Amino acid sequence: MAVVYAKKIDGKLEELGRTEVVLNSLNPVWIEKVIVAFQFEIVQPLVFHVYDVDTKYHNIPVKMLKLKDQEFLGEATCVLSEVVTNQTRSLTLNLHIKNGHTGLRNFGALTIHAEETVASRSCVEMIVHCSHLDNKDLFSKSDPFLRISRIVETGGSVPIFKTEVVNNNLNPIWKPLCLSIQQFGSKDNPLIIECFDFNSNGNHVLIGKLQKSVANLEKLHKERSGANLTLPSSHRGHDKVLKGQLFVDQFCEKQQYSFLDYISSGFELNFTVAVDFTASNGNPRNPDSLHYIDPSGQLNSYQRAILEVGEVIQFYDSDRHFPAWGFGGRTCDGTTSHCFNLNGSAGAFEVEGVEGIMAAYSSALHNVALAGPTLFGQVINKAAQIAGQSISYNSNKYFVLLIITDGVLTDLQETKDALVRASDLPLSILIVGVGGADFTQMEVLDADNGRRLESSTSRVATRDIVQFVPMREVHIGQISVVQALLEELPGQFLTYMRGRDIKPRPLHVAPTSA
């Protein structure tokens, strides 16, 4: 029998499940699956223990077996990401005895296979528009967006989708929306579709609503007819029917692949880091500096962010060579640079492994004078250039730029312009704010309020590619900086791939014996 554990941060093991007992076998193939919740944003160490179960227990349910009464045959450990990033989604590990002197003795091997418990990959893609909406604004037109909710058995509703905001328009057409079967349940499940007028203070005003199932929406498309929005009225049970209507311009059913479908078919996340070397960080020799390297080994905020993000993402990058830059520092030649190689090399900007980034950062603090101002434009453009070049020869790479900064931006508009240009590329940007500065600007870049970023030429970002987290606000609750930073990344990756109709590569797996 095999027992699967999750290893917690404090080193304790939490049992996730047990296989069945395979009788009298030295080459058991277990059928019982153990369910593990895959969380991209954290490192998930797993421990496997294999036991020889005494035959006198063989009719007892495995959950009831006392492990101390069985003979321990060996253990193996890995990280869940190591399994799911393999093209076969399988990993073979040698068993060993804990703390024992194994010498050359072979304790056997354990093969782990992971599969995703996706009920169905089917989804529905629609383009919808509204006409003749009521105006809720005094000096301009409404800024409408749709919120779609599923009605649940208890009678309440759970939001499953929200469109972007269309500014100043009473006849809005929204970008294609995609709903998976997991979200809407079945085609006959009733959905509530609400149209709101967006207000930046969060008090969105209901313009109108309607209740339709996915099957009803498909019918609207086939019949090319509209459905009237209604508003609850003071007369109970008699909703006011409005002039505004919802139309379904396109409706199609398609396959929707998951993040793991792409990763296990050979798609990679390429990690890049950019560190703030502006003077506002304080003299690195002083203990109150954000760049102070503590002789006791306690990490500063920059080191913590590099280490924690790098530890998660490194499993998704096969060569583990990471571009590493600094910005806002005065380099050896006396010039202030807003994108210099952290390792001090004139040409090669890649370092090896997360340890390589940490070492390059430490040595840069001795060779680079802190200067300023705080400009993001150049490092974003550099990352965008690398991501752009990769499209022409390799469409299975997605780039992740981590910017760690203490400061207020001097080039906010240039940064917005760079981000809007980069929103067409396979690139996400994670920003960690360290220290006590006012990070209001960063919230603007992280367009989580429903409004996409706009460039100086009024071009709107294709998609949201920025996630910002201030270091000081995390660790108060249970979520770490890294979890907060990385939780949107699989979604941003999928938005890019699906928007370009890039599909996972077919797997060419050589047949293997059981």
Whole-number Å distance between alpha carbons of 353 and 361: 13
Q: Which amino acid is at 464?
A: D
Mean pLDDT of the chain: 90
Q: With contact defined as beta carbons under 8 Å apart, do 130 and 195 qualify?
A: yes
Q: Average pLDDT in the 125-140 region?
A: 94
pTM here?
Answer: 0.76
Per-residue pLDDT of 51-69, as tens digits, reads 999 888 777 888 888 999 9
Whole-number Å distance between alpha carbons of 451 and 467: 14
Q: Which residue has the tokens 């004078």?
A: 369
Sequence-distant (≥ 6) Cβ neighbours of residue 255 within 8 angstroms: 121, 122, 123
Q: Average pLDDT in the 261-265 region?
A: 92
Q: With contact defined as beta carbons under 8 Å apart, do 134 and 208 qualify?
A: yes
Residues 2-116, CATH architecture? Sandwich (2.60)
User: Which CATH entry fits the domain spanning 259-500: 3.40.50.410, 2.60.40.10, 3.30.70.2390, 2.70.98.40?
Assistant: 3.40.50.410
| Longest pairwise C-alpha distance within the chain | 83
Instruction: Give ∠ CA 325-300-279 in degrees, rounded to 5.
Output: 60
Q: Average pLDDT in the 303-321 region?
A: 93
The closest of 424, 388, 403 to 500, measured between CA atoms, is: 424
Q: Average pLDDT in the 300-322 region?
A: 93
DSSP code, position 488: T
Q: Are strands 336-337 and 329-330 parallel, antiparallel or unpaired?
A: antiparallel
Q: What is the per-residue pLDDT for 74?
A: 95
Question: Residue 512 pLDDT > 50, yes or no?
Answer: no
The closest of 266, 175, 332 to 502, measured between CA atoms, is: 266
Q: What is the per-residue pLDDT for 513?
A: 37
Please determine whether the domains at 2-116 and 120-255 fall in the same fold group of CATH.
yes
Per-residue pLDDT of 146-177, as tens digits, reads 999 988 776 778 888 989 999 999 999 999 99
Q: In what order do the strands lie in the sheet with 2-7?
A: 13-18, 2-7, 45-52, 71-79
Q: What is the per-residue pLDDT for 159?
A: 84
Question: Residue 505 pLDDT > 90, yes or no?
Answer: no
**9 or 237: whose pLDDT is higher?**
9
Domain ranges for the chain, please list them: 2-116, 120-255, 259-500
Per-residue pLDDT of 279-304, as tens digits, reads 999 999 999 999 999 999 999 999 99
**348 or 156: whose pLDDT is higher?**
348
Question: Residue 442 pLDDT > 50, yes or no?
Answer: yes
Cα–chain-centroid distance for residue 217?
30
Q: What is the per-residue pLDDT for 227?
A: 97
**439 or 378: whose pLDDT is higher?**
378
Tokens (6 digits) for 123: 């989804």
**Distances, alpha carbon 263 to alpha carbons 113, 259, 322, 463, in Å:** 15, 6, 18, 21
C-alpha torsion sign, points 492, 496, 498, 503: negative
What residues does 5 pair with on adjacent strands?
A: 15, 47
Q: What is the per-residue pLDDT for 104?
A: 65
Whole-number Å distance between alpha carbons of 430 and 410: 19
Whole-number Å distance between alpha carbons of 372 and 336: 7
Whole-number Å distance between alpha carbons of 446 and 492: 13
DSSP code, position 378: H
Per-residue confidence at 184, pLDDT binned at 50, 70, 90?
Answer: confident
- CATH 3.30.70.141 for domain 120-255: no
Whole-number Å distance between alpha carbons of 27 and 77: 19
What SS3 state is found at 126?
A: strand
